[in-house]
């Protein structure tokens, strides 16, 4: 064995080839099957895509590095299910490019945050967390209310997401910008198409409490309010387990 | 450095820098409505500054042919200084974000100054800025000494070193502006990723071309580790960063993978960045500088062979232990756990090999703080890999995951292993690089050693404590069967530990500042007798220029 190695360490090309082959085996065996085995991701016919406003909010979540302190993955442990809700299913992050499962909980898990608090609570909390949770360690994100949301390239965002596998229609891509405005301004004519294109369950309201303009806060709150609500599959799995 | 280049090489450098300038211009133009444009201007500025510097000295006298009979160490010298500067930046950002976790309101009302944007400046600053520069600088040194051959040309080492630092700069400044793809330790966006691939290909080419010119029949152990580091990091980087930009004029891109497949790919990358960036590369460092400093041969050549192939093969399976109890299929989690446990064998083979090399030289460890840095690094490597295998066991992971225990574990490795082996290697390398008889102050090395050790111990113990308490509080039930603590209860319990952690980090940072001072003063010491390091020459005749 060490005789073979004697020759190997005399050949740079041989060594390189060996390293690449030996190192590739593990990753290949673990990753490749995930794309082909059907059981990896469950079927969930009710699974919906993010609206343009929610996509923008998700990008703000990424921009501000929220993933460093909050997970979006409830593990199959009893205390987690009791604290946060039914454990996360693979299908729930099917359209998440990239996933935001996280690796650390300096703050709580957010996988089922949607509909848990009011929009006003979220807006206050993001603007200064200690206004609503005095012991919080979270930074204050005051600029979210100040900054106007950039929407002119949302169509391109949706189109890129379609390229990587999220089923957006041509109509959804073409109306991305107007739908983003409409979702946060329920009294404007732009709001009409949102429910039509994304379903009756879509939240259409003034997320940051200010009518007539779109802030970064609108987008982030819209995103936080749909976490865990894109499909009922996890709740149904939990119920089936009880019965 | 420019004086070392021939006219033809200066011309080539100007062409390369001209192309870089044009690339920057194209980025600035295409991304004028986007943050990409700002990075375009930065690239353009880098190109223009470099171009002007070379152009101004274009007509300087040609270097003598004599230089080809010596090793080419100028890139290593600059690399050492950049290592220390990035170390101070990265550790400084680390101390600052640690303080923000203890006192969140102690900040200014600006997006760039918030925890979420500074935290990747810390992680990338120390991993890629500090660690990466240390790896490039030392690998170029070790490569030449162990092959007894000079680097194959004069420009490509500069391209790698400076190009790599441009990548680090794009990464760090991008985070402050909010440019990130949120994949931990792979945060830079698509254009920076592509640039890194170009730099990396040239780095690999330097390695292969130098090996092809070697005067030693065998490729020395350290070089296997450095090569595995270069090759596997390339594979990981390319696969994990596959993404589609929303347009060529935008910094934003979307990962090709989603959900469970993305999670697996990300932690296959993330854990093997630990394996091949932070372990294999630094083991290469250890396998050269530790025996050299102790002036003893490696304890066992066979043990290093076993360790090398064990690490190369097994680590790549271990990433899925980051995803226990998640929606990742159970069989993948189990494979990750099993390989993580077995990984202890090759890891301890290297840690043991290093410590056994010191057998009979322990008096040197006692007397020489530089060697003590390396010995301590090997001990921390052993401790951390044991802890890692332990934490990968599913039942342990159920408690440790998502808590500060992970942070403690990472820093036992990062401070105790990576930074200590780096400081030890740099201290032993600096005098020979600048041809000084010794370091400016041995006493300051001693001061640094104790600052580093106490900082690490305080940091790690604080995080072990807070992590275990956190994990236990989350899963504690009352007698009536309800959860005993709210999440915020656990957060309040962390507060004292976060203060202690920041203090430990501060000590470590102070140590790095002492090192920076000591090394700068060493460089500024008067030049010594010429024949001090006369033996440190490549095999004759040197092959170069048109071979």
pLDDT at residue A212 is higher than 90: no
Helix B74-102, helix B420-433: angle, nearest 10: 150
- The partner residues of B254 in beta bridges, in order of sequence, read B244
The mean pLDDT value for A65-88 works out to 97
CB contacts, 8 Å: B309 with chain A: 22
pLDDT digits (tens, 9 = 90+) for B171-225: 999 999 999 999 999 999 999 999 999 999 999 999 999 999 999 999 999 999 9
Interchain pair A15, B224: CB under 8 A: yes
CA distance B218 to B181: 42
Hey, is the C-beta of B480 within 8 angstroms of any chain A C-beta? Answer: no
Give this complex's ipTM. 0.95
pLDDT at residue A193 is higher than 50: yes
What number of other Cβ atoms are within 10 A of residue B428's Cβ? Answer: 20
Interchain pair A88, B327: CB under 8 A: yes
What per-residue confidence (pLDDT) applies to A238?
A: 84
- Supply the Cα-derived Rg of chain A in whole angstroms: 22
Rounded to 5 degrees, what are φ and ψ at B244? Answer: -115, 115
Residue of A nearest to B395 (CA): A77
Hey, is the C-beta of A161 within 8 angstroms of any chain B C-beta? Answer: yes
The DSSP code for A133 is: -
pLDDT digits (tens, 9 = 90+) for A88-109: 999 999 999 999 999 999 999 9
Alpha-helical segments (H) within B326-391:
330-342, 344-357, 362-367, 369-391
pLDDT digits (tens, 9 = 90+) for B67-93: 889 999 999 999 999 999 999 999 999
Distance, in angstroms, between B339 CA and closest chain A CA? 10
What per-residue confidence (pLDDT) applies to A240?
A: 82
CB contacts, 8 Å: B182 with chain A: 62, 65, 67, 98, 100
Distance, in angstroms, between A52 CA and closest chain B CA? 14
Q: Are A207 and A225 in contact (CB under 8 A)?
A: yes
Distance, in angstroms, between A208 CA and closest chain B CA? 19
Hey, is the C-beta of B332 within 8 angstroms of any chain A C-beta? Answer: yes
Interchain pair A143, B109: CB under 8 A: yes
The mean pLDDT value for B449-462 works out to 98
Interchain pair A160, B475: CB under 8 A: no
- The partner residues of B477 in beta bridges, in order of sequence, read B483
CB contacts, 8 Å: B475 with chain A: 77, 79
Rounded to 5 degrees, what are φ and ψ at B106? Answer: -85, 65
pLDDT at residue B547 is higher than 50: no
Mean pLDDT score of chain B: 95
List the single residue in A100, A133, A156 with the smallest CB-CB distance to B247: A156
Its pTM surpasses 0.90? yes
The mean pLDDT value for B282-296 works out to 96
Distance, in angstroms, between A217 CA and closest chain B CA? 14
pLDDT digits (tens, 9 = 90+) for B237-282: 999 999 999 999 999 999 999 999 999 999 999 999 999 999 999 9
Characterize B237-274 residue by residue with b for buried, 16 or more Cβ atoms within 10 angstroms of its Cβ, and e for exposed.
beebbebbbbbebbbbbbbbbbbbbbbbbbbbbbbbbb
Hey, is the C-beta of A223 within 8 angstroms of any chain B C-beta? Answer: no
List the single residue in B104, B224, B253 with the smallest CB-CB distance to A139: B104
Interchain pair A64, B232: CB under 8 A: no
What per-residue confidence (pLDDT) applies to B537?
A: 79
The residue with tokens 């470590």 is B508
List the single residue in A29, A90, A100 with the smallest CB-CB distance to B182: A100
What per-residue confidence (pLDDT) applies to B546?
A: 45
Mean pLDDT score of chain A: 94
Q: Are B124 and B185 in contact (CB under 8 A)?
A: yes
Hey, is the C-beta of A99 within 8 angstroms of any chain B C-beta? Answer: yes
pLDDT at residue B545 is higher than 70: no
Distance, in angstroms, between A229 CA and closest chain B CA? 16
Give B153-191 as a DSSP string.
-SSHHHHHHHHHHHHHHHHHHHHHHT-----TT--S-HH
């Amino acid at each position: 064995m060490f005789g073979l190695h004697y020759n190997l360490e005399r050949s740079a090309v041989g060594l390189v080839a060996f390293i690449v082959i030996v190192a590739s085996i593990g990753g290949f065996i673990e990753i490749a099957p995930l794309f082909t085995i059907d059981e990896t991701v469950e079927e969930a016919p009710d699974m919906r895509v993010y609206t343009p406003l929610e996509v923008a909010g998700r990008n703000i979540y990424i921009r501000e590095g929220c993933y460093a302190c909050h997970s979006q993955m409830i593990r199959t442990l009893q205390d987690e299910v009791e604290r946060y809700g039914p454990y996360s299913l693979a299908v729930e992050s099917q359209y998440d490019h990239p996933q935001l499962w996280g690796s650390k909980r300096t703050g709580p898990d957010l996988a089922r945050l949607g509909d848990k608090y009011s929009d006003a609570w979220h807006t206050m909390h993001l603007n200064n967390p200690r206004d609503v949770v005095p012991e919080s360690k979270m930074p204050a994100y005051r600029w979210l209310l100040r900054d106007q949301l950039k929407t002119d390239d949302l169509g391109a965002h949706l189109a890129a997401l379609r390229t990587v596998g999220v089923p957006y229609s041509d109509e959804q891509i073409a109306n991305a910008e107007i739908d983003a405005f409409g979702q946060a301004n329920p009294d404007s004519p732009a709001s009409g198409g949102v429910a039509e294109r994304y379903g009756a369950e879509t939240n259409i309201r003034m997320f940051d409490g200010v009518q007539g303009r779109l802030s970064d806060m609108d987008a982030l709150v819209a995103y936080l309010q749909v976490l865990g609500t894109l499909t009922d599959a996890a709740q149904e799995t939990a119920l089936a387990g009880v019965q | 450095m420019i004086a070392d280049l021939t006219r033809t090489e200066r011309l080539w450098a100007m062409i390369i820098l001209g192309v870089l300038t044009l690339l920057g211009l194209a980025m600035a133009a295409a991304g004028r409505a986007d943050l990409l444009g700002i990075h375009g201007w930065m690239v353009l500025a880098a190109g223009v500054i470099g171009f002007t510097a070379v152009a101004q000295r274009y007509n300087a006298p040609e270097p003598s042919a004599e230089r080809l009979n010596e090793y080419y160490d100028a890139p290593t010298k600059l690399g050492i200084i950049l290592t220390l500067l990035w170390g101070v930046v990265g550790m400084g950002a680390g101390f600052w974000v640690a303080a923000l976790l203890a006192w969140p309101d102690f900040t200014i009302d600006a997006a760039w100054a918030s925890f979420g944007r500074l935290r990747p400046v810390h992680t990338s600053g120390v991993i890629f800025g500090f660690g990466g520069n240390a790896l490039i600088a030392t690998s170029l040194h070790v490569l030449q000494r162990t092959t007894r051959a000079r680097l194959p040309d004069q420009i490509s080492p500069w391209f790698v070193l400076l190009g790599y630092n441009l990548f680090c700069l794009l990464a760090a400044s991008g985070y402050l502006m909010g440019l990130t793809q949120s994949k931990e330790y792979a945060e830079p966006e698509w254009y920076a990723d592509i640039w890194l691939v170009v730099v990396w290909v040239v780095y690999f080419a330097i390695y292969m071309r130098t090996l092809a010119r070697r005067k030693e029949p065998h490729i020395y152990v350290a070089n296997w580790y450095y090569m595995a580091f270069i090759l596997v990091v390339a594979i990981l980087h390319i696969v994990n960063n596959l993404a589609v930009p929303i347009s060529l004029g935008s910094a934003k891109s979307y990962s090709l993978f989603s959900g469970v497949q993305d999670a697996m790919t990300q932690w296959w990358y993330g854990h093997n960045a630990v394996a091949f960036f932070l372990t294999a590369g630094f083991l290469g460092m250890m396998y050269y500088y530790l025996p050299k400093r102790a002036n003893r041969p490696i304890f066992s050549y066979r043990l290093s062979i076993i360790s090398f192939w064990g690490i190369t093969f097994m680590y790549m399976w271990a990433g899925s232990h980051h995803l226990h109890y998640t929606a990742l299929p159970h069989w993948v989690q189990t494979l990750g756990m099993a390989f993580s446990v077995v990984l202890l064998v090759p890891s301890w083979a290297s840690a043991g090999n290093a410590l056994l090399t010191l057998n009979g030289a322990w008096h040197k460890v006692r007397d020489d703080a530089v060697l003590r840095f390396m010995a301590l690094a090997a001990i921390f490597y052993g401790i951390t890999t044991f802890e890692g295998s332990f934490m990968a066991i599913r039942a342990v992971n159920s408690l440790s995951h998502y808590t500060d225990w992970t942070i403690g574990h990472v820093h036992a490795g990062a401070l105790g292993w990576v930074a200590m082996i780096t400081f030890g290697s740099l201290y032993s390398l600096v005098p020979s690089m600048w041809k000084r008889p010794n370091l400016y102050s041995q006493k300051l090395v001693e001061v640094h050693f104790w600052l580093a050790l106490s900082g690490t111990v305080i940091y790690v113990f604080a995080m072990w404590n807070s992590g275990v308490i956190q994990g236990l509080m989350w899963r504690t039930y009352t007698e009536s069967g309800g959860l005993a603590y709210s999440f915020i209860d656990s957060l309040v319990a962390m507060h004292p530990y976060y203060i202690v952690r920041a203090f430990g980090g501060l000590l470590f940072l102070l140590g790095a500042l002492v090192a920076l001072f000591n090394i700068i003063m060493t460089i500024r010491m008067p030049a010594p007798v010429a024949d001090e390091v006369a033996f440190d020459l490549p095999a004759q005749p040197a092959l170069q220029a048109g071979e």
